[in-house]
Chain A
Amino acid sequence: MSSGTEWTTQSIQQIIDKLKHKPGAMLPILHAIQDEVGYIPDKAVSQIAESLLQTRAEVHGVISFYHHFRTTPPGRHNIEICRAEACQAMGCRALEQHAKNTLGIDYHQTTADCSFSLEAVYCLGNCATAPSIRIDDDIHGRVSLDKFDALIAQHQKEMKEAG
C-alpha cells in the first residue's frame, strides 16, 4: 500500500480532475486519493466539495459513512483482522486478542513507531481457510497465532532492511 503521505493541493486536484467527469465520481475520487496518500487529508475535503459542487458536510458525510476511508495517516502496513462468523468458528476471537497484545494497540490505532495500523474487517471471502487477515493488499489464510507472529516478524525485517 502507499504510505507516501507527501501530497500537495495540486496533486490532490490532479486526482480529482481526472475523475470528476464520471457519474457518481465521489467514491472513485476518495479511493484514488487514499490509494495515493494513504488517507483523506482534511484539506482535500473542501477541494472535493468545490469540484463536485457539493458541500463540505456532504463530502464529510460520505467519508465517515464508509469504514474503508480514513482521515489520519496509516502505519506503514495496515493489518485487517476478519471478525466475521466463519473466522469466529476457527478462533478469530483469540487471534484478535493476540494481535492487540502483540502490537500493543486496539482497533483503529497505529503503533507508536508507525509500523502497523490495526483495523477490523467483516469478511475477506476466505472463509473455507479461516481465520483470515489482510496485510495491505495480501490476504492470509489459516492464520494461527504463530503464523501471525511470523508475518509480523517478516514485515518488521523488511521495514528494517528498507530503512
Chain B
Amino acid sequence: MSTRIFVPCDTTALSLGADKVAEAIQLEAEKRGIAVEVIRNGSRGLLWLEPLVEVETDLGRIGYAAVEADHISALFDADFVSGSQHHQSCIGLVEDMPYLKKQQRLTFARAGITDPVSLTDYEAHDGYRGLKNALELEPQKIVDEVKASGLRGRGGAAFPTGIKWQTVLDTPSEQKYIVCNADEGDSGTFADRLVMECDPFMLIEGMTIAGLAVHATQGFIYLRSEYPVAHKLLNEAIDKAYQAGYLGDNILGSGKQFDLEVRLGAGAYICGEETSLLDSLEGKRGLVRAKPPLPAIIGLFGKPTVVNNVLSLAAIPFIMDKGGQAYADYGMGRSRGTLPLQLAGNVKQGGLVELAFGITLRELMQDFGGGTLTERPLKAVQVGGPLGAYMPASQWDTPVDYEEFSAVGAVLGHGGVVMFDDTVDMGEQARFSMEFCKVESCGKCTPCRIGSTRGVEVIDRIRAGNNAEKNWTLLEDLCETMIDGSLCAMGGMTPFPVQSVMKYFPDELSAPGESA
C-alpha cells in the first residue's frame, strides 16, 4: 500500500514553494521505487510552518515544517515516508501541536485535514449534514436556529445574522438573492481565504442553507481578484456540488432550487462595503448607497438580498448540524460562538487561531503568536484592518469581544491582528491610513473623498514642523468631520487609526524636537 503524503495547496503554502515540494516528493519516490500518494490538502492554518508536509502513519499524521524542494532527498534518506522523526524539520504529530490543541475549531474543523475539492472527504467529515437537516425544515425554523446560535456578522459590523435573514424572509418578492461578501480586503486578514481554499464546500453549503431559509434561488460569491487560488478552488468545488446534486434546480431530489456563481471584483477595497459591493455586482462603479433602504429589503437588482461575510455563512453548516445552542455555548456576553482570529505582520507564529470569544489580545499574541519574528519588543498592534485603531501596550489585556473592544475605542472587525515591533514609525502609519483612504475612497461623499486628501497634507505639515500646533488642531477637527459626516465606514473609520496615534504615540506624529 502506498503511503499518503499531504502537501497543502493554499496561497501561503504555494507562496513558499509547495508546488515544487509536491513535485519533488513525487519524483524522488519514483526514483527510489517507493509507493506514495501525494494529496494536496488545505492548510491547517499554522502558516509559519508552511509548507507543512504531513505523512500518514498508524500513529496519526506526522508533520515536517517549512519543507523546501531541496530538502526532499534528505527527508527520504531520513525515512520520513515511514514517519521517522529523525529529520530536523519533524514536528511530531500535527494534532498534538499546542497551537492547534488549544483552539476551539468549529468553522475550521476540517481545514488542513481534507482535500478541499474532494466531496467524499467533505461528506466523511460531517459535511452536508446541516443542509440535509435544513431540507426537512420550514424556512422560519432555519432562521430560528440561526437566531438561537447568537451568530453575529463576522465581516466586522457584527449585526445579528438571524435578524438579517428574518428581514429577507419577511419581505415578499419573486426573486431574492444570497450574496457572499468575499472581498476580504483588510490587511492582516485571511480567514475567508482559508475557508475558500481549504474547505470551499462549507461555504457552498452555508449559502445553500441561507437560500432555503429566505426563499432565495440565486447566490453570488463576490470574490476579490487578489485571490486567484481561491477562485480556482471555489469554481472546482461548485462544479462538483452541481454534479452531485447539491446545487441546481432540484437539490438532493427535494425539488428546491439554488444556483451559485463566483463573481470577481477588480481591486477596489470599498467593494467590501456591502452596498458598494452590490453596485459592483450590478456592473457599475462600486459606489456606496445610502441606507435605508437596507439591502435586506432593496438589495441586488432591487431585490431582497442577504449579504453575509464568508465566515458568517461558513458557520451555518455547523449550526444546522449540531444546533444553534451548541454554537451559542461558546463565547462571552453578547459575542457568541467562536471567532477565527488571524495573527499577521511581525509575528513569529503567524496563522489562524479559532477560539471562543474571551481570550485577551496579549495571550493571543504571546501564547499563540510567540512574540515578534524579529524578536524585538512589540510596540503597537492594529486589530480589525486598516480602519482599526493602533492599540498600545496598555490595551493588550482587552478580551477579544465586540463590546470590550468598542469600550476602549478599538475595533475587532474581521479579527485580523497585525503586530509591529519597535522599529515602526507611528507617524508614518497614521499618514498611511489617510493615504489608503485617498486611494480607495469611492468618492461619493465629500468628507471621505476630500477629507482623506487633506488628511495626508495636514499630517505631512505636522511631521515637517510646519505650524504644527495649529495643524494638530485641524487634524483633530478633520477626523471628527470624517467620522460624523461620511456615508460609510470607509471615511467614518479611517480616522480611528489616526486618532489612536495622536492619543497614544503623539511624539511620533510630531516633527523631531517638537511636541504637540
Contact = CB atoms under 8 A, between A and B. Distances in A.
A89 B380 CA distance: 10
Contacts of B301: 23-24
Interface in A139-159: 139-142
A117 interface: no
A128 B418 CA distance: 9
Nearest to B435: A83
A21 B290 CA distance: 29
Q: Which of A23, A30, A86, A132 has the most CB of B within 10 A?
A: A86
Interface residues of B, number: 60
Nearest to A119: B267
A85 B345 contact: yes
Contacts of A139: 11, 14-15, 228-229
A5 interface: no
A62 to B, nearest CB: 6
A122 interface: yes
A104 interface: no
Contacts of B187: 84-87, 122-123, 127
B424 interface: yes
Nearest to A35: B264
Contacts of B347: 128
Contacts of A99: none
Contacts of B229: 139
Contacts of B11: 124-126, 139
A139 B19 CA distance: 12
Interface residues of A, number: 41
Interface string A115-140: 00000011111111110101001111
Interface string A66-93: 1111000000000000001111111000
Contact of A140 (B15, B382, B440): B15
A86 B188 contact: yes
A88 B188 CA distance: 11
A121 B382 contact: no
B226 A134 contact: yes
Interface stretch (B90-98, B280-288, B456-464): B280-288
Interface string B486-512: 000000000000000000000000000
A114 interface: no
Interface string B402-440: 000000000000001011110010000100100010011
Contact of B16 (A87, A123, A142): A142
B165 interface: no
A31 interface: yes
A141 B12 contact: yes
B155 interface: no
Contacts of A89: 344-346, 418-421, 424
B318 interface: no
B345 A125 contact: no
B258 interface: no
Contacts of A26: 283-284
Contacts of B193: 125
A66 B268 contact: yes
16 contacts: A23-B282, A25-B283, A27-B265, A31-B225, A65-B268, A68-B265, A86-B416, A87-B187, A88-B429, A123-B184, A125-B189, A128-B47, A128-B343, A129-B47, A130-B345, A140-B15
